[in-house]
Amino acid sequence: MSKLLFIPILVCLFGTFPVQAKDTDRTRELREKMVTEQIAARGVQDKYVLDAMRAVPRHLFIPEWGERLAYEDRPLPIGYGQTMSQPYIVAYMTEMAKVKPDSRVLEIGAGSGYQAAVLAQIVKHAYTIEVIPQLAQQAEVRLHNAGYNNVSVKQADGYYGWAEHAPFDAIIVTAAAPHIPPPLIEQLKDGGRMIIPVGTSYMVQMLVLVTKVGSEVRTQNLLPVRFVPLTRG
């Protein structure tokens, strides 16, 4: 299990980090509107997911310059060529993974730390991997500053998963892979579910649900998406 890094200031692509606003009545109102109009209105119904999306202060997980855009229905750049998915996609992937309080969950692509925070709001402990060292470091700081100390962050190539904590009930991959990585399938528990965008940046990607039943692996196409490519270490 990795330890949280307590770093007062990091310089990133968009300025100093972290300089974050507090959670206020206004940001809570914006989150309620986000959940009502962007997420629930599009069919997400899982109570754990909706409650988590209401609770996690999304504006604390993006660079300072973008805080005013935090609750808009759009992805946001977080530096180093990476993005944070729009709120609906985060909620949809979490719902389709069927994450519950007793789930053991792995995220591939920590990015800003926001998806990990949503998972940590639901489960006792979450695991997340980020290949880009600066983002892994920033995600740890953001998660700590937001009060999510039940997340282990590892800087590594997510293609290979995190075998020492497997098997997982759910794996959520937040970057597009050209194929479903075999190590991640191996690390799924019997009955486990993986949500992963499959494709390249030069074609339409498909968000795929992978379920594992004994030695059988089943896949189901969910919807077309656009994610940044899965970066290899």
Rounded CA-CA distance 126/198 in Å is 23
pTM: 0.89
Burial class (CB in 10 A: 0-12, 13-18, 19+), 42: exposed
Which of 85, 103, 112, 152 does the annotation list as catalytic?
85
pLDDT per residue over 180-232, tens digit each? 999 999 999 999 999 999 998 778 899 999 999 998 999 999 999 999 999 88
130 phi and psi angles, rounded to 5 deg: -135, 130
pLDDT per residue over 63-83, tens digit each? 877 778 999 999 999 998 899
Contacts 24+ apart (CB under 8 A), 153-156: 153/2, 153/4, 153/110, 153/113, 153/116, 153/128, 153/129, 154/2, 154/127, 154/128, 154/129, 154/130, 155/2, 155/129, 155/130, 155/131, 156/129, 156/131, 156/233
Domains of the chain in start order, with CATH, are: 18-225 (3.40.50.150)
pLDDT of residue 201: 78
85 is an active site residue: yes
93 versus 67: the higher-pLDDT residue is: 93
Mean pLDDT of 127-136: 97
Residue pair 194/185 in contact by the 8 Å Cβ criterion: yes
